[in-house]
Amino acid sequence: MQDAKLIAKSHDAHRSVIALNDQVTVGGDELLIIGGPCSVESLEQMETIADRLGHQSIQALRGGVYKPRTSPYAFQGVGESGLAILDRVRRRYQLPVITEVMAIHQIEAIVAHADVLQVGSRNMQNFDLLKALGEIDRPVVLKRGLAATVQEFVMAAEYIASHGNTHVILCERGIRSFDNYTRNVLDLGAVVALKQLTHLPVIADPSHAAGKRELVASLARAAIAAGADGIMVECHPVPDESISDARQTLSLEAMADLVNSLRPIAAAVGRTMPMSQVAAQPAIA
C-alpha cells in the first residue's frame, strides 16, 4: 500500500485507539459492539433499545436519519427530527450515537446531535464529502463501497486523514458478488488485510453483508475471530416492523444472545468485552 501515508501501519504494534465519546473507545483490546435500527423511527424505539441493551450488550447506538435508498420512492429517513431523538437518547443513556451523513450540508447538524458520523457505502468515494469530514474533529465510520477494492477503501480513508482528521474507523460491510443468496459477501480477508495495512480500527457489519437475520450472528463471530475490533449490527424491538432492512434485523433478545456468544471468541483472540452496567439517567424534559 504505497500511497497511504497517514493511515499506513509503520510497525506491528502500531494501532490507533479512537474515542467515540469520553467513555467508549475502539481499536484497543476491548471490542466495540454497536447496535441499533437501520432507521431511527421514534424516540420510544430508540429508548427501548438503549434501555434493554445499553452498556451491557452494546456500547454505542446506531440509527440512520438520512437514508440512502435505492428507490427515490422508498422511505428516506425521518431527517432532522431524528437527530433530536439521537441527542436525547445519548444524553439520557450516556451512549455514543452513530448516524449517517450523506451530504456536506448535513455535517453541522449531525455534529451538534451525534458523536460519530458514518459514511455509507454509496458515498465511500464522494471525495468532497470525505474532504469536508477531514476538517471536523469527530470520529468517522467509513463503510466500504459496494464494489470497492481494498486499495480504494484505504485511499478513501486517507482522504479524510489527509484533510486533518485521522479518527477514521473502517467498516467492512460486504461486497457485491454474482450470488444473491446473501445480500453481499462479507470479506473477512479484507478485515485481515486492513488490520495489516493500516493502524486504524476495523469493524464489521454482518447485517448489510448477510441481508438475512439468521446469518448475522455466525458472521459476527467469524469477524471477531478474524481480528475485527468490533461489530455493528442492526436490531429493533419489533424487527419485522422495521421501516428499512427488516429482513436482516435482529430482535433485542437475539442481539443480546449474539453478544454473549462473542465472549469465548473474544477471549480466544485476546480481546476483552465490556461488561459495565450504567443505570439510565432520569429523562430530560
* 249 part of the interface to ligand PEP, by CB under 6 A: no
The partner residues of 202 in beta bridges, in order of sequence, read 170
Q: Which does 164 bind (CB under 5 to 8 A by kind): ligand PEP, Mn ion, none?
A: none
Q: Which does 79 bind (CB under 5 to 8 A by kind): Mn ion, ligand PEP, none?
A: none
* 236 part of the interface to ligand PEP, by CB under 6 A: no
User: How many CB atoms lie under 10 A from the CB of residue 210?
Assistant: 24
Task: Indicate the residue among 169 and 266 with the shorter CB distance to ligand PEP.
Answer: 169
8 Å CB contact between 55 and 95: yes
Task: Indicate the residue among 16 and 39 with the shorter CB distance to Mn ion.
Answer: 39
Half-sphere exposure of 158 (CA within 13 A, CB side): 18
* 35 part of the interface to ligand PEP, by CB under 6 A: no
Task: Indicate the residue among 204 and 217 with the shorter CB distance to ligand PEP.
Answer: 204
Q: Which does 92 bind (CB under 5 to 8 A by kind): ligand PEP, Mn ion, none?
A: none
Report residue 109 as a C-alpha cell.
Answer: 447538524
Residues within the interface to Mn ion (CB under 5 A) = 38, 245
Estimate the crossing angle of helix 127-134 against helix 150-162, to 10 degrees.
Answer: 40
DSSP-derived 3-state class of residue 232 = strand
* 120 part of the interface to ligand PEP, by CB under 6 A: yes
8 Å CB contact between 99 and 87: no
Report residue 274 as a C-alpha cell.
Answer: 465490556
Task: Indicate the residue among 64 and 201 with the shorter CB distance to ligand PEP.
Answer: 64
**Site residues (vs ligand PEP, CB under 6 A):** 38, 64, 68, 120-122, 143, 173, 208
